[in-house]
Amino acid sequence: MSAHHPPLAELYPHRHLLGIEGLQPNEIVALLDQAEAAVEISRQVEKKKAVLRGRTQINLFFEASTRTQSSFEIAGKRLGADVMNMSVASSSVKKGETLVDTAATLNAMHPDIIVVRHHAAGAVHLLAQKVGCSVVNAGDGAHEHPTQALLDALTIRRHKGGIAGLTVAICGDILHSRVARSNIILLNALGARVRVVAPSTLLPNGIAQMGVEVFQDMRKGLAGADIVMMLRLQRERMQGAFIPSVREYFRYYGLDRDKLAAAAADALVMHPGPMNRGVEIDPEIADGPQSLIREQVEMGVAVRMAVLEALAAHLPNK
């Protein structure tokens, strides 16, 4: 298929992937198309490509993450890279080194791609300014998580044939969610109608101007929706601070059969994981026929392969 298309370097003309913001719709589509090919590779017995052979990929995770980190690790290895995982516990950050010092140290090791997860919004941008290699944002604070939005879009596209015209309801802790921000930008760019559903305490200021319709009542927010995207509620938000209790949250904002019935009959349910069963989602729904949650994980590897391959096209060859 690539034979009929311009090279990936032209379709995705960026050195980094720092966010969905700033990407053109055709660039997003190019990554999704590339990811389709990666899905095929991942389903073969022989899963290796040589695109990143000889390249060094560092997964720099300042925040613990099993699924995103392993997904990037597998993606890099399938493309032939040498992948090193560096987590905060074993890093010198604990010894007081600043983020910029860490960047300089890593830079001296000549990595080709650094994948960064950080608890502070903007940290990945700062790091990208200080290193010479390509940088992928694997989540920075409550700002962006671009590969999650891409994998969500890929999953939706494979089931619904496209994104444009779909009604997507993003439900739960929008305020603290980087997944929500990346998805709002991406889904709007590809022509979906985006809704958010949450108690007002879990909505950021100015949400109505962020390209979404806002609902506090979940049944109204889900009415006729094609996609119901649930967000994880962080433990520390549960008790009394932003919502009164788990049981009240589940009553009004947990996705159960009753609330899901308000959505379109063929609505699909998504969750970026890890799930709190019985908090934001009823196990019956999470494991039910409308759930795409496990498929999202598979698409995660494919999307990350596509992103790494797109960045590889911009790596210097000498």
Query: How near is the Cβ of 240 to other proteins at its closest, in Å?
Result: 2
Sheet holding 56-61, edge to edge: 82-87, 56-61, 113-118, 134-140
Closest CB to other proteins among residues 101, 258: 258
Q: Residue 243 is which amino acid?
A: I
Query: How many whole angstroms separate alpha carbon 72 and alpha carbon 54?
Result: 17
Strand pairing category for 134-140 and 82-87: unpaired
- What is the SS3 assignment for 113? strand
Per DSSP, helices labelled H in the chain are: 8-11, 25-42, 67-78, 99-107, 123-130, 146-160, 178-189, 218-222, 246-253, 257-260, 283-286, 293-312
Using CB under 8 A, which residues numbered 26 to 55 contact other proteins?
none
Query: How near is the Cβ of 195 to other proteins at its closest, in Å?
Result: 16
CA 85 from centre of chain: 19
Closest CB to other proteins among residues 92, 201: 201
Query: Which two tokens mark 225?
Result: 């929706």
Query: How many whole angstroms separate alpha carbon 119 and alpha carbon 138?
Result: 11
Closest CB to other proteins among residues 59, 276: 276
Query: How near is the Cβ of 252 to other proteins at its closest, in Å?
Result: 5
Q: What is the rounded (10 degree) CA torsion for 239, 243, 244, 248? A: -110
**238-243 long-range contacts, Cβ below 8 Å, gap at least 24?**
238/279, 242/173, 242/175, 242/199, 242/201, 242/202, 243/199, 243/201, 243/202
Query: How near is the Cβ of 241 to other proteins at its closest, in Å?
Result: 7
Please, which residues bridge with residue 144 across strands? 140
Query: How near is the Cβ of 230 to other proteins at its closest, in Å?
Result: 19
Per DSSP, helices labelled H in 136-202 are: 146-160, 178-189
Site size toward other proteins (CB under 8 A) is 15
Query: How near is the Cβ of 253 to other proteins at its closest, in Å?
Result: 10
Closest CB to other proteins among residues 213, 298: 213
Task: Measure CA of the first residue to CA of the last residue in the chain; give whole Å.
Answer: 28
Using CB under 8 A, which residues numbered 61 to 100 contact other proteins?
none
Query: How near is the Cβ of 237 to other proteins at its closest, in Å?
Result: 11
* x-or-dash string of contact with other proteins, 160-199, rule CB under 8 A: ---------------------------------------x
Closest CB to other proteins among residues 24, 245: 245
147: nearest Cα among 118, 193, 122, 179: 179
Using CB under 8 A, which residues numbered 194 to 253 contact other proteins?
199-201, 216, 239-245, 247-248, 251-252
Query: How near is the Cβ of 15 to other proteins at its closest, in Å?
Result: 40
Closest CB to other proteins among residues 62, 249: 249
Closest CB to other proteins among residues 123, 243: 243
Closest CB to other proteins among residues 197, 310: 197
Contact set with other proteins (CB under 8 A): 199-201, 216, 239-245, 247-248, 251-252
